[in-house]
Amino acid sequence: MHDDGSDAANLCFHCGQPVPAGESWTLDIGGLNRTLCCVGCQSVARLIVESGCEDFYLRRTVPSARIDPEQLLPPELALVDLPGQTAEGEVSDAGDHAQELVLSIDGLRCAACVWLIEKYLARLPGIDMAELNVASARLHIRRDPARCSTSTILRGLHGLGYTAYPFDPLRQGEQARRAGRRLFRQLFIAGLSMMQVMMYAIPVYMTHEGIDPEMMALMRWASLFLTIPAVFYSALPFFTGAWAGLRARAPGMDLPVAIGIAAAFTGSAIATWRGEGEIWFDSVSMFIFLLLASRYLETAARRKSAAALERMQQAFPASALVLRGYPLQRETTLVAASQLQAGDVILARPGDTIAADASLLEGVAELDLALLSGESRPQAFQPGQEAPGGAVNLSQPVLLRVVRTTRESTLAAITRLAEQAGQGKPALAQWADIVASRFVVALLLLAAVTFMAWHLIDPTRAWATAIAVLVVSCPCALSLATPSALAAATDRLLREGTLVVRGNVLETLQRADTILFDKTGTLTQGRPQMTALWSCIPQAQALSVAAAMECGSLHPLAKALVEEADRRGSATCDVAELGSVTGAGMHCVIDGVPHRLGARHFVAEIAGPSMPAELNQPAAAAAGSVYLGNSQGWLARLDLADALRADAVDTVAAFRAQGLRVILLSGDQPEVCAEVAAAVGIDEVIAGCTPQRKLEVVRQLQQGGAVVAIVGDGINDAAMLRAGDVSFAMGNGAALAQVSADAVIMSDRLSAVAQCAQMARRTMRIVRQNLVWASVYNFLAIPAAAFGLLDPWMSAVGMSASSLLVVGNALRLSRATRAARQMPASAPAALPALAGGA
Amino acid sequence: MEALYLLIPLSTLLVFLAIWVFFRASDGGQFDDLEGPAMRILHDDDIPAQPDLQDHI
């Protein structure tokens, strides 16, 4: 599924994705007319150019994220200005006017993003300082709140195509970050100690005539002091890990490591004190350093994906609908969820997440608690019962009375999500863990036996050999083989816009033999577009009239018409007395003539019953029609249909080429489904499915022995996504679908699923290589150590090198070499006007 | 050779001094963002800010 970059003219200048055929958004950037793929990208690019930041396109090294037009300005943004909401973003008052604000930013891609954000914000009035921390994706702003509101900043960032959230340390996994920082310090200290101890060890190894005993003693004492920070600070993770393993009665790889370090250090310290015998301070500090290095690399990759997951989850439950006048009035107001007080009455619509712990007032609710309890079946709640915050309403709108504030009540859900990201382990990794744990027990026994045996043969070497056995064996390589490869692959996929939530995705996807696609929103874009226009008057005129009548409406069909008119650059036209009739259409007066736009019967009331032949064309099965007419007759018919995603055909073809059984599963009409299936090349269609039926289909397939992969997006797909062996949710889909799926396609490109499958195959190949290496190494090295052929320092090198090799092999996965990194016409040579100006 | 009797303890002290300096720098946030400064340094601005920007906001 590589993008074919050869035809750069058909790629969007902003996001680098293919421009749909027939689309023609253009913008003058750097003196040349650029093609853009959608209104979202166009408005972002326009803002960048208008704010004098068009250099961004010269500086960036990867294409920007695609912007969904609908997500340009979420209404919830305004909420952050309300008192109470901003408090959680503000960390401190600095000075009399200036105030600090911390935001977390999503969508950073390359160095130019940093430049663009900082530069744009620095030019906003009222902002003293804006500084972006790239590693933690946090933006620190000092500003005058009277002149620059939080929502202005958020709206500006949204306009540039980045998503920003008020920073909440609780949600941002502050703890994980602090742990990462501690690991970095431990690594640094171990490195410092290792280098210095080596300085004293090398003369001893090198010399032939022997060293003055007093000098020797001095160097030994110096080595002892220098090893102390490494053992008592840097090696702490191994000791705590070993202790935790012992208490859980499941000794992990930390145990032999910890015993090895402790034994070698204690033995050396005693030898130093007595002034005789061997010391291994150099081996100890090197061992600690190399082992920490491989651990550091692995956690760094893992933490990135966990952080992205948290940022995604931040988006929900951000707001709630409150009924202030209950029970007298039923008007709802949208408020920030963090403002909810105990006693407030809130409305939860179907598909809404309940913002806080609340008791049910009216109606019988069916709630999905999967996120909170893991229970997959919806549960029925009666009036008076308390529903936990974070539950998702599945049935009808219900009223609830808040019992506890959001901050207290959603904690459980957030913690659970954060844990979920790191925890899921594929079967292969679990198997490796079990093997490693048995291996550890056997190894400890072997070390003891070796010690006793050598005690009888040559007591002076017993201690050294036992340590060598403990240190050389590498259950680490065995245990790291799978997780490090998965972490690297996950990190790479994340950078490409696919968030892997559960650990089994890559392993299962590689085994999958059946793939189910939902139709609406998955194979198609999920929102209508104009496909055909028949008219009795010039087409441009018909479209401009229709667009003018619909321009205030939020109905998806209306938006599609306005978008189409914008795209074609139709002239506007003046309308008067605009009004709407629910379920029928819009009416207005143009130049004194009453016009109507909408359903056929509604227009027929003024245009007359008989429709001209031009408009009486056969429509495609998936299309719906809107009619335009005035009191003098019929004017036009506009057909709207849900268009296919640009990459749907390629994606389906890629899976078919791999021999997977591809099925289209939808709740829509059979004719519509058949048409879409034919267009993308799917033979098997199961149409008219309720969510229950979808679930049954999945179960039947699984009972037949199939490993089922599922791609879906809606609330009605949630149950099926959860039941599938591996499932993907589209990033623009329902929140419930996203939390039910094993992976979320944040880039909203269907081809990401095929990319993910390709990645899965590569990952499993690397995992197998790693496991083979770890087995061969242990098989050879342990006997060698037990027979006294290896010194402790050789063991330490061998063991650490083996771990690093495994991690290094895995990190190959995260290296990006793909063609998708290329951008449409962004080389400086292509922008002469800009290059000259800069 | 006698100088080593002074230099070895001194080097040990120096390492502990380095550890102390490192911890202070780490607490001060020196290592919090290891990527950002590298990105920023290449993007200095030679073009003067446009005074008419305020109209767009």
pLDDT tens digits for range A84-95:
444 334 444 444
Q: Indicate the number of domains in chain A.
A: 5
The domain that holds A617 is classified in CATH as 3.40.1110.10
Per-residue confidence (pLDDT) for residue A373, from 0 to 100: 55
Last residue of a domain, one of A168, A199, A218: A168
- Cα A555 from Cα A557, distance rounded (Å): 6
Asked whether the beta carbons of A217 and A262 are under 8 A apart, the reply is: no
Fill in the DSSP letter of residue A807. H
Cβ of B26 within 8 Å of Cβ of A226? The answer is no
Enumerate the residues of chain B whose CB falls inside 8 A of the CB of residue A285.
Answer: none
Last residue of a domain, one of A141, A168, A195: A168
Taking each helix axis from N to C terminus, what angle separates A236-247 and A254-274, rounded to the nearest 10 degrees?
Answer: 120
In a domain, A52, yes or no: no
In a domain, A794, yes or no: yes
Q: Which residue of A has its CA nearest to B36?
A: A134
Enumerate the residues of chain A whose CB falls inside 8 A of the CB of residue B49.
Answer: 52, 123
In a domain, A494, yes or no: no
Q: What is the side-by-side strand order in the sheet with A708-712? A: A498-500, A743-745, A726-730, A708-712, A514-518, A661-665, A684-686
Q: Which residues of A463-497 are buried (b: 16+ CB within 10 A; e: fewer)?
A: bbbbbbbbbbbbbbbbbbbbbbbbbbbbbbbbebb
Last residue of a domain, one of A715, A741, A759: A759
* pLDDT tens digit sequence for A174-211: 666 777 788 899 999 999 998 999 888 888 777 777 77
Q: Are residues A137 and A124 in the same domain?
A: yes
In a domain, A513, yes or no: yes
State yes or no: pLDDT of A374 exceeds 60. no
Look at residues A145, A131, A129 and name the one whose alpha carbon lies nearest to residue A86.
A145
* pLDDT tens digit sequence for A582-636: 667 788 888 888 888 888 888 888 888 777 877 777 766 566 778 888 888 888 8
Q: What is the ipTM of this complex?
A: 0.78
Fill in the DSSP letter of residue A353. B
Asked whether the beta carbons of A340 and A346 are under 8 A apart, the reply is: yes
- Cα B57 from Cα B50, distance rounded (Å): 13
* pLDDT tens digit sequence for A378-388: 778 888 888 87
Q: Are residues A538 and A637 in the same domain?
A: yes
In a domain, A28, yes or no: no
Q: Are residues A139 and A202 in the same domain?
A: no
In a domain, A39, yes or no: no
Q: Are residues A557 and A696 in the same domain?
A: no
Q: Are residues A429 and A299 in the same domain?
A: yes
Q: Are residues A182 and A301 in the same domain?
A: yes
**Mean pLDDT, residues A569-594 taken together:** 78
Name the least confident of A67-76, A571-580, A638-647, A791-800.
Answer: A67-76
- Cα A358 from Cα A384, distance rounded (Å): 9
Query: Any CB–CB contact under 8 A between B56 and chain A?
Result: yes
* pLDDT tens digit sequence for A15-48: 777 776 666 677 888 777 888 877 777 778 888 8
**Polymer length of chain B:** 57
Cβ of A181 within 8 Å of Cβ of B31? The answer is yes
Query: What is the torsional sign of CA A284, A287, A290, A291?
Result: negative
Q: Are residues A678 and A743 in the same domain?
A: yes
**Mean pLDDT, residues A219-225 taken together:** 91
Per-residue confidence (pLDDT) for residue B55, from 0 to 100: 44
Of A52, A134, A218, the CB nearest to B5: A218
Q: A33 exposed, middle or buried (CB, 10 Å; 0-12, 13-18, 19+)?
A: exposed
State yes or no: pLDDT of A746 exceeds 60. yes
State yes or no: pLDDT of A72 exceeds 80. no
pLDDT top residue among A318 and A233: A233
User: Token pair 């980045």 is at which residue?
Assistant: A162
Site from B27, B42, B56 to mutate, A interface, most A CB atoms within 10 angstroms: B56
Q: What is the CA radius of gyration of chain B?
A: 23
Q: Are residues A661 and A620 in the same domain?
A: no
State yes or no: pLDDT of B13 exceeds 80. yes
Asked whether the beta carbons of A338 and A407 are under 8 A apart, the reply is: yes
**Mean pLDDT, residues A764-775 taken together:** 87
The Cα-based distances of A589 to A152, A565, A594 in angstroms read: 38, 20, 4
Site from A91, A110, A188 to mutate, B interface, most B CB atoms within 10 angstroms: A188
Q: What amino acid positions of A are annotated as catalytic residues?
A: 518
Tokens, residue A745: 């396609």
Site from B2, B30, B57 to mutate, A interface, most A CB atoms within 10 angstroms: B57
pLDDT top residue among A266 and A129: A266
**Mean pLDDT, residues A697-708 taken together:** 88
Asked whether the beta carbons of A484 and A810 are under 8 A apart, the reply is: yes
Of the pLDDT bands very low, low, confident and very high (cuts 50, 70, 90), residue A817 is low
* pLDDT tens digit sequence for A473-506: 656 666 677 777 877 787 788 777 787 777 678 8
Q: Are residues A298 and A333 in the same domain?
A: no
Q: Are residues A351 and A362 in the same domain?
A: yes
Size of interface A-B (CB pairs under 8 A): 91
Per DSSP, helices labelled H in A709-750 are 718-723, 735-740
Q: Work out the mean pLDDT of chain A and round it to a whole number.
A: 76
The whole domain housing A678 covers 500-524+645-759
Q: Are residues A288 and A323 in the same domain?
A: no
- Chain B: closest CA distance from residue A792 (Å): 24
In a domain, A65, yes or no: no
In a domain, A334, yes or no: yes
Of A189, A200, A837, the CB nearest to B47: A837
- Chain B: closest CA distance from residue A26 (Å): 20
End-to-end CA distance of chain B: 73
Of B19, B34, B39, the CB nearest to A189: B19
Per-residue confidence (pLDDT) for residue A582, from 0 to 100: 66
In SS3 terms, A132-195 reads as EECCCCEEEEEECCCCCCHHHHHHHHHHCCCEEEECCCCCCCHHHHHHHHHHHHHHHHHHHHHH
Q: Are residues A431 and A469 in the same domain?
A: yes
**Mean pLDDT, residues A755-762 taken together:** 89
Q: If interface means Cβ-Cβ distance under 8 Å, which residues of chain A face chain B? A: 50-52, 55, 59, 110-112, 114-115, 118-119, 123-125, 132-136, 156, 181, 184-185, 188-189, 192-193, 196, 199-200, 212, 215, 218-219, 222, 225-226, 229, 837-838
Query: Any CB–CB contact under 8 A between B24 and chain A?
Result: no
End-to-end CA distance of chain A: 37
Cβ of A196 within 8 Å of Cβ of B35? The answer is no
State yes or no: pLDDT of B32 exceeds 80. no
